[in-house]
A = this chain, B = another copy of it.
Amino acid sequence: MNASAGPKAPGGADDATTSDSASMPRSGRKVTTSNRQSPRKSGDERWKELLDVSARMFADRGYAATSLQHIADELGMLKGSLYYYIKTKDDLLYEVIRGVYWEGVANFRRITTGPGDAVDRLEHAIQGHVRYLIDNITATTVFLHEFDQLSPGRREELSALGYTEQLRDLIRAGQAEGSIRPEIDASMAALAVLGATNWIYRWYRDPGSRGPDEIGRQFSDIFVSGLVSPSRKA
């Protein structure tokens, strides 16, 4: 366990749009900026803004502690106007998670089924996953921390073609081709890799000290060295 790095970064320190929210008292109401009231804002823009604000507030305060009223206040909207876009708070959580999930899974699949032997692909998959996670730290935080708050049917839908299975299959392919050690339990190894990389959302704050490339290189080095077969090394 890792208490000193425990609290998740409020909204992700690399995301400039979170800075005013992070310094805002939890019960505070933000002054609505004038551009938010622009009559020229289309429905699509408003929807995107709703998702961005929801993601940020869910990441900052937690899903359970954020009400639709909080979100409406933050957007300078009446709460009733939210029902033009969604029916329940669960709808917002689902939309935030769905977006970052499917894109991430698709990126991951391009790498795990791409060129190279299994060890090359493992290396690139870890580096790509770290990069994607940090590039999308706010939505990723919501996904990783609040997934179990989704309604059961939606959890099931998003679990269909997951990261774990892709990674497990890649490791098994490496064992079949001889590039990964046969004594490794592929499911356990997949969970170790995903645990190490997913946990980044709990400690990643200061991109100045160690950025995604450096973290990705270190993590992929550790896991590749830990899993590779001695015969491939030679």
Residues of chain A touching chain B, judged by Cβ–Cβ distance below 8 Å, are 1-8, 62, 64-65, 101, 104, 129, 133, 140, 143-145, 147-149, 155, 158-160, 162-165, 181, 183-185, 188-189, 191-200, 202-203, 210, 214-215, 218-219, 221-227
Contact = CB atoms under 8 A, between A and B. Distances in A.
Contact of A65 (B64, B189, B226): B64
A196 B189 CA distance: 9
A7 B156 CA distance: 10
A78 to B, nearest CB: 25
**How many copies of this protein are present in the complex?**
2
Contacts of A4: 159-160, 162-165
A168 to B, nearest CB: 10
Contacts of A202: 195
Contacts of A200: 191, 195
Contacts of A185: 210, 214, 218
A188 B210 contact: yes
A104 B184 contact: no
A197 to B, nearest CB: 7
Which among A140, A149, A158, A194 has the highest number of chain B CB atoms within 10 Å? A194
A49 to B, nearest CB: 24
A1 B133 CA distance: 8
A215 B198 contact: no
Contacts of A64: 62, 64-65
25 contacts: A1-B140, A1-B194, A2-B198, A3-B155, A3-B158, A3-B163, A4-B163, A4-B164, A5-B194, A6-B144, A6-B147, A6-B155, A6-B158, A6-B159, A184-B218, A188-B219, A189-B222, A191-B200, A192-B222, A192-B223, A195-B195, A195-B198, A195-B199, A199-B199, A224-B226
A199 B129 CA distance: 16
A191 B5 contact: yes
Nearest to A129: B1
A221 B223 CA distance: 11
A155 B148 CA distance: 24
